[in-house]
Amino acid sequence: MKEGIIILPNKEEMLNRLIKANDNSHLQERFYPILLKSAGKELVAQDIVMVLTLAIYDYVEGMPTIMSNLMYMQADQFIDALVDDKKVAREAKDFFKKVIESTK
């Protein structure tokens, strides 16, 4: 495996990790299935941020704007749940923070 590239867990493992990170039933029903579409994919840090951001966008559609912010606040825990490589996880968190700050 090339440095900086990770493979997301399979669907079952990914779901188990996400539930450990946050066992909210609404997330399990509506948000996690969106993320599970990316199970098993090879990604770099920026891709992880894109997958997470697009999943949040799809999940919060039709909800109050503050829901996006609440989901963004949980980004680090979702990244930690999905990414075993600590260096790639740190890069993804830093990149996510830069993306969020650039929208302010």
C-alpha separations of 60 from 65, 71, 94 in Å: 8, 9, 23
For the residues 78-91, what does the mean pLDDT come to? 97
Which of the residue ranges 25-34, 35-44, 94-103 would you say has the lowest mean pLDDT? 94-103
pLDDT higher than threshold 70 for residue 82? yes
**Joined tokens for residue 93:** 């968190």
* 1 CA to centre of own chain: 21
The pLDDT of residue 103: 79
The amino acid at 92: A
Mean pLDDT of the chain: 95
Label residue 78 by pLDDT band (50, 70, 90). Answer: very high
Query: CA-to-CA distance for 59 and 22, rounded, in angstroms?
Result: 15
Label residue 24 by pLDDT band (50, 70, 90). Answer: very high
The pLDDT of residue 3: 78
pLDDT higher than threshold 90 for residue 68? yes
The pLDDT of residue 1: 56
The model's pTM: 0.92
